[in-house]
Amino acid sequence: MKSYITIMLNQWSVVLQYRWNMVVQLFIQCGSLLISIMTWRAIYANTPQDAVGSYTLRSMIVYLCLTHISLLLFSTESIVRIGQLVRSGKLTWLLLRPYSLLGEYMATLVGQKLFYLVVYAMMIGLKWWLGTSVSYIAVLGIYSVAIFVMYVLLMACLSNIGFWLVQVWPLRSIMNAVYMILGGVLFPLHMLPATVASVLAKLPFALVGYVYANALQDQLTVRQLSIQIGYVIVWIVLLGIGYLVSMKKGLKRYEGVGM
């Protein structure tokens, strides 16, 4: 356990050293958020209605802010991790170490995203201070932890595709695009046809983006949020199995290149 904490703190200090990277990323997300807001403002300006898809312009802007912040915490750049480790041969070093690869990955992510984890904790704390019921805050807290675990497993599982691909550069931007639609970042998912929306809303991306933003906007009841936790747990189990299977198959294929 101690080694994981060391890894986490180490990663946090790396983030501080490369803080300009984080600043640039924040800047880029702000840009992306502004573009989304401008696009939707244009859409609202060109329609006679006040509400589009049951959102007023104001609540749409809040929704867009929340989904864009979620992109910072639940970012997709770590999907290239295994691919890079395989190509450089550094995977061998990690495999030889006396701790689990998944544990190391989780510790790394917690360290890298510590800043955003604190921001989210503060957001939830702010909601409690502003008067949201304790039961809702408790369920929201459990949901937040659960989706973080699910997200780690999702990225770890998807990242294992790096055992089979030589060049992983397209994965990052493709994952971003997939996240933008399936996570409800480009538009709230209920603007899609009802059947499609109800299926997509159960996928991990939506649970992390669209549903979480709705939860933070108080658009869900305690009961609805509890049901969402159920979906998250199902995904944790599925992705856990997927990770183990893909890791086993990937390692068989791995040849320790570069060592």
Partner 1 sequence: MSVSLYLALCKQSVHTFIIYRTTSLLTFLMSILFFVVELYAGVVYFDQIDQLYGWTREDYLVLISLATTVTYLYQTFFVLAHEHLTESILDAQLDMILLKPVNAYLFYALYRLDISSAISAMMGLGVTGYFLQSYTVTVVQYLYIGVCVLLAVGLLFSLNQIIVTCSFWYDNLTSLLAVPEYLTDFLSRPRDIFPSTIRGLFTWGVPLLIAFNSPVLILRGEMSVRYVLSLVLSNAIFGFIAWWLWRKGVERYRSAS
- Please check whether residue 68 is in contact with residue 32, taking contact to mean a CB–CB distance below 8 angstroms: yes
In sequence order, the 6+-apart residues with CB closer than 8 A to the CB of 257 are 86, 87, 89
Q: How far is the CB of 148 from partner 1 (least distance, A)?
A: 23
Q: How far is the CB of 171 from partner 1 (least distance, A)?
A: 7
Residue 102 or residue 161: which is nearer to partner 1 going by CB?
161
Residues numbered 96 to 135 that lie near partner 1 (CB under 8 A) are none
Residue 102 or residue 114: which is nearer to partner 1 going by CB?
114
Token duo for residue 157: 């599982």
3-state secondary structure of 133: coil
Residue 52 or residue 229: which is nearer to partner 1 going by CB?
52
Question: What track of x and - describes contact with partner 1 for positions 136 through 165 (by CB under 8 A)?
Answer: -------------------------x--xx
Residue 20 interacts with partner 1 (CB under 8 A): yes or no? yes
Residue 170 interacts with partner 1 (CB under 8 A): yes or no? yes
Identify any residues that bridge with 238 across adjacent strands, giving them in sequence order.
Answer: none
- Please check whether residue 216 is in contact with residue 126, taking contact to mean a CB–CB distance below 8 angstroms: no
Residue 85 or residue 139: which is nearer to partner 1 going by CB?
85
Token duo for residue 75: 């970012």
Say which amino acid occupies 221.
T
Identify any residues that bridge with 104 across adjacent strands, giving them in sequence order.
Answer: none
- Please check whether residue 15 is in contact with residue 114, taking contact to mean a CB–CB distance below 8 angstroms: yes
Q: How far is the CB of 134 from partner 1 (least distance, A)?
A: 38
* Rounded Cα gap, residues 141 and 205, in angstroms: 18
Which among 45-53, 132-140, 208-216, 219-227 is the span making contact with partner 1, rule CB under 8 A? 45-53
Position among 10, 167, 221, 224 found at the interface with partner 1 (CB under 8 A)? 167
* Rounded Cα gap, residues 119 and 113, in angstroms: 10
- Please check whether residue 143 is in contact with residue 215, taking contact to mean a CB–CB distance below 8 angstroms: yes
Residue 90 or residue 97: which is nearer to partner 1 going by CB?
90
Q: Which residues bind partner 1 (CB under 8 A)?
A: 17-18, 20-22, 24-25, 28, 31-32, 35, 38-39, 41-43, 46-47, 52-53, 161, 164-167, 169-171, 173-174, 177-178, 180-181, 186-187, 191-192
